[in-house]
Amino acid sequence: MKIESVEKTAKVIAALLKEKFPDVHFDVEAEYPNGEDQVVVRYTDGPSPVLVHYYIDKFQTMHPLDGDLVFLTLDPSILGCSGTSLVYCDWRLSPAVESMVRKAYEAEFHEPYQYNGHGFFDITSYYRSRPQLWPAKYQRLYEEQKKVPKEEPPVLKEKDDKIVSYEDFKTAVLHYDVNHHVW
């Protein structure tokens, strides 16, 4: 995927998130770790990632399908951009919210939080799974999202409507490179 398209995807995602959550500051960046492209959405407090992913998952081309990871060719005419391989939320809790969440955990389980306590990997995973702790506006949004199915990504269909698996895509790219490489 071309760098320009990932940069544009990051801008489209940033604009969408600003529209959906105007009171939250999102830092949206295109990144290229290990030669892969991704868009990382960083923010503190605000909505749980489940609420954010409801809107932004349609911009990623890597999706699980029947237990396999598949590469989708997104329709840029609908999205307004070409998308990116992955969209990742790097979500943090401020010390004040984390303190409130720890108190809720202690009230529920009658003990201080410990790493992986009661199956929660960290205190944010506890908060993420307890919508009743979220601000009322996010609780309402969560209930609304549950009623409406998540929008499927707009996929460009090939002639036979086949979705290409990521492994097949990588193999085809490598085969093309070997056959068309100018030495």
What per-residue confidence (pLDDT) applies to 12?
94
What per-residue confidence (pLDDT) applies to 164?
56
What per-residue confidence (pLDDT) applies to 64?
78
What per-residue confidence (pLDDT) applies to 54?
94
Contact 68, 169 (CB under 8 A): no
From CA 97, how far away is CA 48, in angstroms rounded?
Answer: 12
Contact 39, 31 (CB under 8 A): yes
Nearest Cα residue to 168 out of 176, 179, 160:
176
What per-residue confidence (pLDDT) applies to 172?
59
What per-residue confidence (pLDDT) applies to 171?
61
Contact 71, 150 (CB under 8 A): no
Predicted confidence pLDDT, tens digits, the chain (183 residues):
455 689 999 999 999 999 999 999 999 999 988 778 999 999 999 999 999 999 999 999 988 777 787 888 888 888 888 889 999 999 999 999 999 999 999 999 999 988 877 888 889 999 999 999 999 999 999 999 999 988 888 887 664 555 555 556 556 556 555 554 444
pTM for this model (two decimals)? 0.79
Q: Give every CB contact of residue 3 below 8 A, 6+ residues apart in sequence.
A: 30, 32, 37
What per-residue confidence (pLDDT) applies to 169?
57
Place of tokens 């969209």: 87
From CA 47, how far away is CA 140, in angstroms rounded?
Answer: 11
In the chain, domain spans: 3-94+131-176
